[in-house]
């Protein structure tokens, strides 16, 4: 008899938990046009320039790395370090560059293209082209990363390992970010956590949840991963820095 009561209580708790998750997701998702398959999402992904630019650099770096050879322990360590550091890199770029507040220096207004595009992305998170890194920015990013790979490393092979990993991480970032903003519905626990983390940033409060490809790893360390229930829904989540603009 006791076991049956315990089972009933457990089932009731599980049902409430599932209902709360559905309610939370509905609150941060907004209206959805339709559900799409992963294949259809991938087909749309490759219609944009940034993935092709990254894939081209990745293919070239992998080919060159295989030709050069000269494999050493550092070629195994470097990707591990880069993957571990990437969530923190995402966080810093998101906070300091993408959420950059326009600043006036004399007659010049410092407001980078990538920051302007990100504000537009917050204003309309479903505008697909705005999801991607602007191709103009991607050009100099890839050129700079290639220059670092070729000039900053003591071994040519190690530089190519760095370039390969950087291009793979960049392509992975673009894919995950695009998928989160697409109509593809989460089907695994891991992806649902990542999906929910970024949607909280867009639909709940822009001052938290800055990581994209992981479910708040750097956010947890840097204290920008609060309990959503304790966070006030921001009035400027769709209009970044609008309070500062109104004040000026």
The C-alpha atoms of residue 164 and residue 149 are separated, in whole angstroms, by 9
Give the Cα separation of 98 and 115 in Å (integer): 5
Cα separation values, 64 from 77, 80, 245, Å: 19, 20, 48
Other beta carbons less than 10 A from residue 178's beta carbon: 20
- How many angstroms separate the Cα of 248 from the Cα of each of 27, 91, 244? 33, 28, 6
The owner of tokens 């080919």 is: 63
The DSSP-derived string for 7-19 is HHHHHHHHHHHHH
Under 8 Å between Cβ of 192 and 224: no
Q: Where are the domains of the chain?
A: 35-247
36 forms bridges with which residues in the sheet? 184
DSSP designation for 109: E
Q: DSSP E strands: which ranges in 4-107? A: 103-105
pTM, 2 dp? 0.83
| Count of residues in the chain | 248
- Single out the residue of 140, 175, 138 nearest to residue 49, CA to CA: 138
CA–CA separation, 27 vs 7, rounded Å?
A: 30
Whole-number Å distance between alpha carbons of 56 and 52: 6
Distance CA(166)–CA(160), nearest Å, equals 10
Specify the pLDDT at position 12: 55
Placement of tokens 């000269």 in the chain: 70
Give yes or no for a contact between 102 and 110, defined as CB atoms under 8 angstroms apart: yes
pLDDT of residue 135: 95
Residue 229, C-beta contacts closer than 8 angstroms, at least 6 positions apart: none
SS3 51: helix
Distance of alpha carbon 102 from alpha carbon 112, whole angstroms: 8
pLDDT by residue, tens only, the chain of 248 residues: 545 544 554 455 445 544 544 454 454 454 445 688 999 999 999 999 999 999 999 999 999 999 999 999 999 999 999 999 999 999 999 999 999 999 988 888 899 999 999 999 999 999 999 999 999 999 999 999 999 999 999 999 999 999 999 999 999 999 999 999 999 999 999 999 999 999 999 999 999 999 999 998 999 999 999 999 999 999 999 999 876 443 33
| Integer Cα distance of 51 and 49 in angstroms | 6
């Amino acid at each position: 008899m006791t076991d049956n009561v315990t089972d009933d209580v457990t089932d009731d708790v599980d049902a409430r938990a599932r209902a709360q998750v559905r309610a939370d997701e509905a609150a941060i998702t907004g209206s959805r046009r339709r559900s799409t398959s992963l294949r259809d999402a991938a087909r749309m992904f490759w219609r944009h320039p940034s993935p092709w630019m990254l894939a081209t650099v990745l293919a070239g770096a992998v080919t060159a790395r295989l030709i050069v050879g000269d494999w050493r322990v550092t070629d195994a360590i470097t990707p591990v370090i880069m993957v571990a550091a990437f969530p923190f890199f995402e966080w810093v770029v998101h906070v300091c560059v993408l959420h950059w507040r326009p600043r006036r220096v004399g007659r010049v207004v410092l407001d980078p293209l990538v920051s302007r595009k990100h504000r537009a992305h917050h204003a309309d998170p479903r505008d697909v082209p705005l999801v991607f890194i602007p191709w103009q920015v991607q050009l100099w990013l890839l050129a700079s990363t290639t220059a670092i790979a070729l000039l900053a490393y003591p071994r040519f092979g190690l530089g190519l390992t760095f370039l390969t990993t950087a291009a793979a991480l960049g392509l992975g970032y673009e894919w995950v970010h695009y998928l989160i903003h697409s109509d593809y519905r989460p089907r695994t626990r891991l992806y649902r956590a990542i999906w929910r983390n970024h949607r909280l940033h867009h639909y709940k409060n822009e001052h938290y949840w800055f990581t994209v490809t992981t479910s708040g790893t750097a956010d947890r360390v840097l204290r920008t991963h609060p309990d959503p229930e304790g966070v006030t829904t921001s009035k400027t989540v769709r209009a970044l820095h609008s309070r500062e603009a109104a004040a000026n």
